[in-house]
Structure 1
Amino acid sequence: MNNITDIHYGPLPADSPYVKPFRFHYTQNGKQKSWDLLKVHDSVSIVIFNVTRRKLVFVKQFRPAVYHGIISGDGVEPGSIDMNKYPPEIAVTMELCAGIIDKPISIAEIAREEILEECGYDVPVDRIEQIIRYRSGVGTSGAEQTLFYTEVTDADKVSSAGGGVDDEIIDVVEYGIEEARQLTAKGTVITSPPSFLFGLMWFLANRAPKDA
Structure 2
Amino acid sequence: MDKITDVVMKPLEKSIYLKPYTMHFTQNGAKKTWDLLSVHDSVAIIVFNVTRNVLILVKQFRPAVYLGSISPEDRKIDNVIDTTKYPPENGITIELCAGIVDKNLSLTEIAREEILEECGYDVPASSLHLIGSYRSGVGTSASIQTAYYCEVTDDMKVSDGGGTDDELIEVVEMTVDDIKKYVTQSCVVKSPPSFLFGIYWFLLNKAPKVNQ
Same fold (TM over 0.5): yes
Counterpart position of 2:29: 30
Q: 2:74 aligns with which of 53, 73, 76?
A: 76
Q: In structure 1, give the amino acid aligned to 2:28.
A: N
Counterpart position of 1:99: 99
Counterpart position of 1:46: 45
Q: In structure 2, give the amino acid aligned to 1:76.
A: D
Counterpart position of 1:203: 202
Q: Secondary structure at the residue paired with 1:71? A: coil
* Alpha-carbon shift at residue 187 of structure 1 (Å): 2.8
Aligned length, in residue pairs: 209
C-alpha distance in 2 between matches for 1:131 and 1:211: 19
Residues 185-211 of structure 1 show CA distances to partners (whole Å, capped at 9, x for unaligned) of 263432111111110010000011435
C-alpha distance in 1 between matches for 2:210 and 2:52: 14
Residues 121-143 of structure 1 show CA distances to partners (whole Å, capped at 9, x for unaligned) of 00110001110111000000011
Q: 1:88 to 1:146 in 2, by over 3 A?
A: same
C-alpha distance in 2 between matches for 1:72 and 1:22: 26
In the alignment, structure 1 residue 194 sits paired with structure 2 residue 199: no
Q: Secondary structure at the residue paired with 1:131? A: strand
- Where do 1:133-212 residues align within 5 Å? 133-159=133-159, 161-185=160-184, 187-210=186-209, 212=211
Structure 1: stretches of 5+ with no match in the other structure: none
Residues 45-96 of structure 1 show CA distances to partners (whole Å, capped at 9, x for unaligned) of 00000000000011000000111111035x3244242211211111100000
Counterpart position of 2:132: 132
CA contact (8 A) 2:7 2:80 kept: no
C-alpha distance in 2 between matches for 1:211 and 1:91: 32
Q: 1:174 to 1:139 in 2, by over 3 A?
A: same
Q: In structure 2, give the amino acid aligned to 1:12.
A: L
- Where do 1:8-23 residues align within 5 Å? 8-14=8-14, 16-23=15-22
RMSD: 1.4
Q: Secondary structure at the residue paired with 1:12? A: coil
Counterpart position of 2:7: 7
TM-score between both structures, scaled by the size of structure 2: 0.94
Residues 94-116 of structure 1 show CA distances to partners (whole Å, capped at 9, x for unaligned) of 00000000011100111001000
Counterpart position of 2:87: 87
Q: Secondary structure at the residue paired with 1:149? A: strand
* Alpha-carbon shift at residue 34 of structure 1 (Å): 1.4
Residues 145-197 of structure 1 show CA distances to partners (whole Å, capped at 9, x for unaligned) of 011000000000012x5100011100000000111111222634321111111
Q: Secondary structure at the residue paired with 1:181? A: helix
TM-score between both structures, scaled by the size of structure 1: 0.94
